[in-house]
Structure 1
Amino acid sequence: MAWVQGMATGVIAPNGDITVEVDELQVIDGPRPKHITEVDADPDVFDRIRRRVPGEFRTLGFLGGATAIVVPTDALTWLPEPLMERLRVKYGFERWPEEALVMLTRNTAAPAIQNAAEPAGGMAEDTNLLLEQLKEIVEVGVHDDHGWVEFQLPYELGAHQPVFDVEQRHAWEIVRSRFPVRYVAPLELLPVGRDTFDGRRGVVTAGPVGDFSFLHLARLHLADGADRRLLDTEARPGNREAGEPEWVALRRTVMVVVPREGKSPIGFHFGGDGGLHPCGIHLALSGEAWEYNLTHLGRAAIEAMGWVPEGGVR
């Protein structure tokens, strides 16, 4: 499996904002790094980036990207209204928020970080970092009983649409063979985030194994009341010697995060049918839940949306 190493050069401003550019990109064939020393990254620099300590920096890193998808809350499949009213009262919502973040939960076998939710993302396998980041979006499948939703990239990224289409159709062929595409929904990259990565706005993050990632946010324009369902469409190569097919769908749990006025966000557990799980344990993302049930990318996405209450998530 290939991965990309690159040199990250940048500066952390007095207010903590990060501006960085990457160069000296190199595709490396072999197992992905499991420790920061395997990519010759500078642990001190990574620590400074995490804590946003002002000053210049330069370090090698294992490069990746993620896209946090924002959807209209009313476009998803929830429980019947009387049950949703119970949840509204239980969790202290004055009213249901208009937008939500879609995240996928890493399983217990995942490297580095387990059983924590994060936006669609991964580590680059090619030096075209923007295209690699965009392709990760197809991990989030949106559908109803009649077919799936094809994502349309913004006009300025239209040159990447053919490759993106192939990637999305391949993902759906694995998880639901011969299921038709019925709808098209435009994606809009949002000018959200305090940092700049190669001239693009978003959030710079430093992960636990020397992984240096850039997160941007995108709004998926779905119609309100559409009752769309959510499905993880990522797959891993199958073990053919063990009788597995060429590709095996991961089918990770979906978490939908919504803000609360003056309180910590709530992470809602969506089930295998793509709608809110009626027996789900829904999480107030504060305290230990903020630390253990979200990855650094998940926390960064919520912070970028401005959903952390004043005083933090205690």
Structure 2
Amino acid sequence: MILIANSEAWPGFSKSIECLRRGERAVDALVAGICEVEREAKVRSVGYGGWPNMLGRMEFDAGVMDGATRQVGAVGAVPDTLPVAALAREVMRRLPHVMLTGDGARRFATELGFPIDETLHPDSKRVWWERLQKELSPEALAAFPDIPLAPLSHAITDPERVRDNTVFLGRDSAGDLASVTSTSGWAWKYPGRLGDSPIPGAGYYADSRFGAAACTHTGEMTMRCGTARTIVLALRLGHSLRQAVDLAVEELKDLRDGFIGGVVIHAIDADQTHRVVSLNCEEPIHYWFWQEGMNEPEKRAAERV
């Protein structure tokens, strides 16, 4: 058994370890852990602690992939719902679809008995409104939200450079892999924006025969490159995990136009080798690691590439 996750996973990492030790399937263990992250206000890129879109509304994305079957469930731009990874798992289990978005995803949540959650943290609301007051003229502020929003997507940057999410990758006692993601998305994003977190093959992918991968930070880049799927496909074609991740990094480095930022890749293969690399990230990147036989998880530094 093995489990890796990015540094924001701290509220739920031990929960996932407990589930794996009890013999639960990887996909369920990962969802159990990530649900703890979604409710932790101190994590400022996921769930209740995340940042709103330009209109001051929270929109959540999540993706779940079961490597044993390659079944996928995903949700995007979901309002009023904190456990979106659990909701994505229900999409996978109950519907013939892969992804639900917006009000449709919330309707599905209501049908399943998911409560209407309070999702906008008071501090997030305060910071959002103060930033609008700084950026907008008195006339525009008085007319808000009935103003063009597109110019603001360039003027307003993340309050803490938050373009992150949380990702969990794991292998259970049966040898099956899974990948689960969750995010509140890019702070001050244009309403309806989806990042890579709910997009299978971009922000996450899992195939128990070969490996699993997941990405954080700038989803606009990994969607263009299909980063997570690139890694797993390279493993299938006989590349080592190091070679597979290097290939994905090369593709990201080839991007010249459009929005370019930092990307962090997390990957494991079927032999339980793992690698976490950081590209274009100014700050040091860390991740959580646990493997069967370890008493406690370890926080490790990602490799800069």
Q: Give TM-score, length-normalised by structure 1.
A: 0.26
Bigger strand share: 1
Bigger helix share: 2
